[in-house]
A = this chain, B = another copy of it.
């Protein structure tokens, strides 16, 4: 038993250390096909090599969230195996497209540590980077998790809380090399709405819903080699339910957002996010978005749009928090991200 991975506890992290995560992964058209089977993903740039080439790319890249899940999944055994809660995300940027044939690995730098006042847990802040076979960083994001201590008597480290940007400035977003939306085909993309048609404060109900099944979220979560047992083992919780990986809800909501945001083609920035309530099989996931900001970019015909993406289990639209400031029980996800859209 000594050979199995017990995961790290709070006192096992050192500020500034870089943890190289295991199990590199080569992706192919197989991952792309599975992504389309698991989520109602229809953004044309990720669906069609021809459409992607007409936008200046070499081919259709792997869905941006699929890249995130692969990078994230590798960090789970080292970062969140003993996590009590996934507290937040910040400063997430997609820096290079991931192509079929690429091999991804990931690593995390410990950028903050703060023991909780109860002495039993602490918050670990990491910046996780995904690298391809050339060593290029394809994406990075910060997240912070609450982790149990192995020994409550272990001394608390000096508290360091990183200063994370609440929103990534538009000028810091990485636009994929060659991206050009000046010849964009709005018929093939599925909707006529361009960047200029969206205004800050606008709320979009994405209408469609998907009732989720155990087999589906487990297929997805395994595909990303995320091993957290709470997603797979029905005997793990007292209530016999398997907790759905939060990333499954992200991808489902993002795919549903096609209906109203078909031209928000590429996700390039993750400003923040919260898994507001747990999701279980049988829930019907719906989504709505709010336009939080807009910015121009240096790429031809390409605008950036900042969106709030909210996934719900109750079909509500526009409301996130109750009068007490807490998330309403029907809210599953509250995500703040940047996407690229034709002007």
Q: How many copies does the complex hold?
A: 3
Residues of A within 8 A of B (CB-CB), count: 77
Report B-chain residues with C-beta under 8 Å of the C-beta of A214.
211, 213, 215
11 more CB-based (< 8 A) A-B contacts, given A209-B235, A211-B214: A4-B207, A4-B259, A23-B48, A26-B60, A27-B33, A29-B29, A40-B232, A208-B232, A208-B233, A211-B233, A213-B214
The answer on a CB contact under 8 Å between A24 and B47 is yes
Question: Does A49 sit at the interface, judged by CB under 8 A?
Answer: yes
Give me the interface of A with B, judged by CB distance under 8 Å.
1, 3-5, 20, 22-34, 36-40, 42, 44, 47-51, 59-60, 77, 100-101, 103, 105, 133, 187-191, 193, 197, 204-211, 213-216, 218-220, 222-223, 225, 227, 229, 232-236, 242, 259-262, 284, 315
Q: A28-B32, A187-B22, A227-B42 are in contact. Are A232 and B206 (CB under 8 A)?
A: no
The answer on a CB contact under 8 Å between A206 and B48 is no
The answer on a CB contact under 8 Å between B40 and A206 is no
Q: Once the chains are docked, how many angstroms separate the CA of A214 from the CA of B303?
A: 39
Q: How far is the CB of A40 from chain B (nearest CB, A)?
A: 5
Q: Once the chains are docked, how many angstroms separate the CA of A216 from the CA of B205?
A: 27
